[in-house]
Amino acid sequence: MLSKIEFKVNGRNTVFSGNPLTRLIDVLREDLGLTGVKEGCGEGECGACSVIKDGKLVTSCIIPVGAVNGSEIYTIEGIRDTEKGKCLVESFAEGGAVQCGFCIPGMVMAAYALLSENPHPTDEEIRKGISGNICRCTGYDLIVASIRLAADKGGDLWA
Amino acid sequence: MPVTGIDDRIVRTDAAAKARGEAKYACDLSFPDMLYAYMVRSSIPRGTIDSVKVPTLPDGYYFISAEDIPPEGKNELWMIQKDWRCFAEGDVRYVGETIGLLVGPDRNMLKYLLDHLEIKYTEGVPAVTIDDAIACKGGPIVGEDNIHCQLYVEKGKPMSEVFAEADSIFEETIETGFQEHVHLETNAAIVTEEDGHYVFYVSAQCPFYVRKSVAGLLGLNPEDIIVRQTTTGGAFGGKEHFPDVLCGPLLVAEHRIHKPIKLIFDREEDMLYSVKRHPSKVTYKTALDKDGNILGIEGLVYYNCGAYLSSSYVVLQRGVFHANGVYDFPNTYVKGIGVATNTFPSDAFRGFGAPQTLFAIETHLDHIARKFGFDPAEYKSRYFIKQGGETITNGHIVERVMLPEMMKQVVDASDYFRKAKEYGTGSGKGIGISFYNHGGAFTGNGEQAIIKAHARLVKTGGRVRIEVGSTEMGQGFQTALRKIAAATLGISIDQIDYDNPDTSKVCDSGPTAASRSTMIVGRLVQRCGEEMKERWDEGDFSVEKEYEHPEGHPWDQSTFRGDAYLGYGWGCAVVEVEADRLTNEIKVTGIWSSHDIGHAIDELIVHGQINGGIAQSIGYAAMEKMENRNGHFRQSSMSDYVIPTSMEFPEQKWFLVENPYQWGPFGAKGMGELVFNGADAAYIDAVERALGITVRRIPMPPEDIEEALADAQ
Amino acid sequence: MGMTYIPSALSEALQLRAGTGARPLAGGTDMMVQAKRGIGLAPEFPYPVMIISGLDELKGIKAREDGTVEIGALSTPAEIAASPLVPWHVRMAAAGMGAVALRNSATIGGNIGNASPKGDLPQPLILLEAEVILVSMHGEKKMLLDDFILGSKKTALRDDELIKSILIPPHSFTYSYYRKIGMRRANAISKLSLSAAAVVKDGEIVDFRAASGAAGPKVIRSHEAEAMIKGHRTEEIPDILDGFLAAWDGAISPHAMPVYRRNTTKRMLSFFLESIFNGSEPGIIGGEV
């Protein structure tokens, strides 16, 4: 049985030995200072806390840290300076995707997961890929356009 | 650096930091020795507090209540009136009313204390709905008749004469529900002390409101308190006055504890215990001649204000002033009544009272048009108000009204007339249209009489700093205002600084509300810039300007007569839908809009505002259901109060018309609220046509459509 | 507040289960929400819990030789929706759960064990007469999922058992129908759902089934109502439709929105049966929505 939980966050080894039911989001934000991970709803409904766990998009507010032993986690802080991350951030800025910005780090993570699996998505596929990321400001059109822009600009980056 | 032109396509100045997760919202801040606070709230809608039994508090834990307000202070939050108490004392008037604050270092311990704190009440009978309030259920909450506020406006002949001349009278009542803001960032505030001052870090639209509202709790002057806006993750009106409700108790706690204290609502608290859009009930009684021409309209507008007045009187005024839509009817009489109920106080929400009456008048006119066999677009366009036309408040429309051109744009682009005819009624497909406007800035002479906004530009070397209290909450104002300053000064936007405001450092430029920021504050900054440009070679200096009211706009705030607004934004929307006949699910298949916002300061920002406002508006009509049973909101999460996802609506087609506004910067008018004000009615019009039903209330999720279908048969 | 354990093997999990009664927590998408306490606070359960998301013995989707598909309890909706081994009705339900992130976290075992009337997967599984394999230190046992789920949030899971996998027997339908109605077009909890299937041979309806989700405390199948269709010829559908719809309506018991749920269920069932009557091409009725 596990008494401590070992996992990687943005490539760095992390050991956690507290309550295994501690929400992953709290470990990321409060213990590791990764405040780009936002809490919008606390129940996996809004996507603001989206991170990538073992290559898959998940919402960190409903994952107990006890469930990530051996996992690799990436947050916005871990991808924003990669080529893919930079491409997404630039496209979101240029394309007018950002208003209040609270949903945006999670939205970037969703776009990252989407384009990594599907480098040339249709608009419909983009909308599906971000349908768990709620935005109250934009009505989504410019977010969709910005992800399309990132797919076009990134080219081989995503293939 | 290249000079920034007002029409250049630029990148928002805040976009990259937000997308990189670097922007700091209130929840992201922490301070050494910081404590946490939890609100202790009323669990009943109405009654007296018999006892509050606080469990034994460990060292370093505090329970803060009205008893902690010092003798020199008063237990009131100064919004527009001072009726909203900081802490309930003696009685409670709504579920969620603040009774106290539990403060301490460990959140687990605080949660334990919260769970073990016992409050005993003697429960009263709550009034929850507008009808409850009118009936004074449980006895009046305010005055003798439960009326928080009321007003009427009159134009033309007395309605009794008009009704006597009419061939027929068409009367109906249209209702709208609560709407929750669901800004993705929940409400949050931190209080601390720095250099002998109380300092707030708060997610808020109006930092100057906060300091004015809470200072009296400690008998202080507003200037004694510093408010620093943190990056604000959406507001939509929900952070106009409501941050006062967090900051008031925090200030009282700080007075006793002297350590940084953080109060963050989780989503459930933000859903259940925050302000909402006013539910409304609007009855129109319209006098018609035998051909269906409108002789006059009488309106009775009820808004559910909740337990305290907050900004409801101003909301109600705006509702009444928009109750005749974009039309010039020969005779109107509209009375507005804001009633008190035992629900969470209703407050500002994008549109500020206008959306309810605009939805009602648009829907009412659709019903009349249909009754007489006219196409709603054609019928409504007969009554479009024109430049110089008399408004509902006996004022006049100052600007050129471009509704006919706007209608042509969306009607052509959507192929409205062909589709309207082809789909007919009850075919499962429908196309709907609506027209709307929004009066810019504060009502009447409020900008001059109440706000007296100031703005300041400070030049240091080649850089210029904007010092205003206006806030960025997502709408793009920090970029728009920088752009205005840069284009005026003839320099690059990269040479302009504009930080989140700190009330100790910037001018009070008035609240970031009422679609006034670009129009009023933008113009002030432009005026500062014009002077600064002339004096550019004088070295380092600053220029400060005060608002000047344009001449020739009479307004009497006691009778509500005259030019209610200095200018309006105008809008037209077409929505097309397809109904699933098995499930009553409605799929939106097309959205077209045209808006007159004077001149767009930044088209990309405007594009985003239009998309977001329209999505919020259709959400309001289609799915956003917030019910209140016996004083308790039933929807408490983002899974039971649903707002649109990326899959809900198709890509929007949008147009602008160019109609430069004389007193706005580079011809710009307000637009943030306008874009919310009409797509709801176009959507419902489309749904009515698709299914052959009559809708008299929103929201209309599939289960309510089921009822309307049963009624239609 | 109970203890929390993280077993690293199934055998250890079963010992813990027998010894402490600790309840399994996998994706967390239901349990973490039910026990949430707000920002910065770990959820609390009034009973011991074990986090079983790391147990490889409970993972994977396999086809057996007889065509039975076995879905490990820790399989996610994303894995289920993407697996060509999984029958269409179940893939549709899995693909319609929540959104991307939820589909990567939730598990079929959790969706069944939680036994929410609004759960998405039990409905098509009960249509397909799926069985659940329960495992304890004493071995494995099988039971029909329809018998395993007793009611809203109630199952027949014993204190020493875990759900190991789900078995879906092979089938071949001539016509299939699946529909979920959520509160919005995506990322929504089910308001109502329906699966239906029919086998038609030479004009005779030899098998007919339906299952209603979110229309009562548990997924509803009415073998009595289904029997009213079975054995009839397709051209007789108009004569037997009303009787069948009335019988189905008698079986469902929606608590909220009763009129909407009843009428919509009737309309969907009518549509399915009328499509068969009208000689629709074999396959999926109503498209993949």
Q: pLDDT (tens digit, 9 = 90+) per residue, C249-264?
A: 999 998 889 999 999 9
Q: Where are the alpha helices (DSSP H) in B232-305?
A: 243-257, 267-272
CB contact under 8 A, C264 and B583: yes
A15 contacts chain C (CB < 8 A): no
Task: Using CA coordinates, name the residue in chain A closest to C54.
Answer: A67
CA nearest neighbour of A26 among A52, A1, A49: A49
Count: domains in chain C? 2
Cα separation, C45 vs C48, in Å, equals: 7
pLDDT tops 60 at residue C289: no
For A21, which of C12, C40, C42 is closest by C-beta distance? C42
Residues C164 and C179 in one domain: no
Structure tokens at B546: 């005060």
Distance from CA of A46 to the nearest CA of B (A): 7
Query: Beta partners for B191?
Result: B200, B261
pLDDT of residue C288: 62
Chain C residues near residue A20 by CB distance under 8 angstroms: 4, 6, 51
Per the listing, tokens 């956690």 go with: A16
d(CA C254, CA C246): 15
Q: Is C25 on the interface with A (CB under 8 A)?
A: yes
Cα distance between residue B213 and residue B527, in whole Å: 30
Q: A143, A89, A84: which is closest to A119 by C-alpha?
A: A84
| Token pair 């470990």 in the structure block, residue | A27
Count of C-beta atoms within a 10 Å radius of residue A155: 11
Distances C195 to A58, C79, C94, C108, C250 between C-alpha atoms, Å: 29, 21, 13, 18, 17
Interface test with A, best of C100, C288, C289 (most A CBs within 10 A): C100
Residues of chain B with pLDDT under 50: none
DSSP H or E segment with residue C178:
strand C175-182
Q: Which residues of chain A make contact with B620, given a CB cutoff of 8 A? A: none
Strands B628-629, B697-698: pairing is unpaired
Q: What is the pLDDT of residue A136?
A: 98
Query: How far is residue C80 from each of residues B14, B246, B711, C44, C190, measured CA to CA in Å?
Result: 41, 46, 43, 30, 18
Rounded Cα distance between C213 and C179, Å, is 10
For residue C233, give the CATH number of its domain. Answer: 3.30.390.50
Beta carbons of A26 and C42 less than 8 Å apart: yes
What CATH code is carried by the domain that includes residue C20? 3.30.465.10
pLDDT one-digit tens code per residue, A83-132: 999 999 999 999 999 999 999 999 999 999 999 999 999 999 999 999 99
Domain that holds residue C258: 175-284
In a domain, C289, yes or no: no
Query: Does position A2 have pLDDT exceeding 80, yes or no?
Result: no
The pairing of beta strand B463-467 with beta strand B496-497: parallel
Question: Fold for domain B280-443+560-712?
Answer: Aldehyde Oxidoreductase; domain 4 (3.30.365)
pLDDT of A3 strictly over 90: no
- B571 and B669 Cβ atoms separated by less than 8 Å: no
Question: To 10 degrees, the CA torsion angle through A13, A17, A23, A28?
Answer: -30
Cβ neighbours of A82 in B, within 8 Å: none
Domain boundaries, chain A: 5-77, 80-157
Domain identity same for C151 and C27: yes
| Coil vs helix vs strand at B484 | helix
Residue bearing tokens 């006597």: B164
**H or E stretch including C15?**
helix C10-20
The dotted CATH code for A80-157 is 1.10.150.120
Interface test with C, best of B107, B583, B620 (most C CBs within 10 A): B583
Test A127 with B15 for CB contact under 8 angstroms.
Answer: no
Phi-psi group of B355: left, alpha or beta (phi > 0 → left; psi -120 to 50 → alpha; rest → beta): alpha
Residue C13 and residue C153 in one domain: yes
Q: Which amino acid is at B462?
A: G
As a whole number, the mean pLDDT across chain C is 96
Instruction: Indicate the CATH number for domain B15-23+446-546.
Output: 3.30.365.10
One domain, residues C79 and C155: yes
> Which residue from B minimizes the CA distance to A107?
B19
CA-based nearest residue in chain C for residue B188: C39
Asked if C164 and C186 sit in the same domain, the reply is no
* Cβ-based burial of C267 (10 A; exposed 0-12, middle 13-18, buried ≥19): middle
Torsion angle of alpha carbons B218, B220, B222, B226, nearest 10°? -70
Q: Which residue has the tokens 């600064």?
A: B532
SS3 B395: coil
pLDDT at position A159 is 85
Distance CA C65, CA C87 (A): 15
Residue B399 backbone zone (phi > 0: left; psi -120 to 50: alpha; other: beta)? beta
pLDDT tier, C287 (very low <50, low <70, confident <90, very high otherwise): confident
Query: What is the average per-residue pLDDT within C170-199?
Result: 96
Nearest to A139 among B181, B233, B612 (CB): B612
Residue C62 resides in a domain: yes
Q: Kindly identify which residue of chain B lies nearest to residue A78, measuring between CA atoms.
A: B20
Distances (CA, A) of B403 to B383, B400, C182: 11, 9, 38
Domain end call among C168, C183, C216: C168
Residue at B391: amino acid letter? T
- Written as one letter, the residue type at A14 is T
The answer to whether ipTM exceeds 0.95 is yes
CB pairs < 8 Å spanning B and C:
70
Count other C-beta atoms under 10 Å from residue B144's C-beta: 8
Specify the pLDDT at position B295: 98
For B472, nearest residue in chain A (alpha carbons): A100
Q: Given the structure tokens 């009303």, which residue do they identify? A: C242
Nearest CB partner across the interface for B582, out of C187, C257, C268? C268
Q: State whether CATH 3.40.800.20 applies to domain B31-124+181-272.
A: no
Specify the domain boundaries for CATH 3.30.365.10 within chain B: 15-23+446-546, 31-124+181-272, 280-443+560-712
Distances B113 to B58, B62, C42 between C-alpha atoms, Å: 10, 10, 16
Starting at the edge strand that comes first in sequence, how are the strands of the sheet with B653-657 ordered?
Answer: B429-439, B568-579, B586-596, B653-657
Residues C121, C236 within the same domain: no
β partners of residue B192: B199
Tokens of B570: 């105008």
Is residue C197, in this structure, part of any structural domain at all?
A: yes
Q: Which residues in chain C are closer than 8 Å to A57, comparing Cβ atoms?
A: 100-101, 104
Domain boundary at C122, C152, C168, which? C168
Instruction: Compute the nearest-CA separation of B95 from chain C (Å).
Output: 19
Query: For testing the chain A interface, which of B8, B107, B183, B184 should be mutated: the one with the most A CBs within 10 Å?
Result: B184
Contacts of A36 in chain B (CB under 8 A): 20-22
Alpha helix stretches (DSSP H) within B547-671: 603-622
List the CATH code of the domain at A5-77: 3.10.20.30
Q: Examine residue C46 and state whether it is found in any structural domain, yes or no.
A: no
Closest to C33 measured CA to CA, from B112, B85, A23: A23
Q: C183 contacts in B (CB within 8 Å)?
A: 623, 639-640, 642, 701
Choose the closest CB to B647 out of C39, C186, C267. Answer: C186
**Whether C110 and C126 share a structural domain:** yes
Contact C186, C203 (CB under 8 A): no
Whether the Cβ atoms of residue A18 and residue A4 lie closer than 8 Å to each other: no
Are C257 and C205 in a shared domain? yes
Residues C257 and C184 in one domain: yes
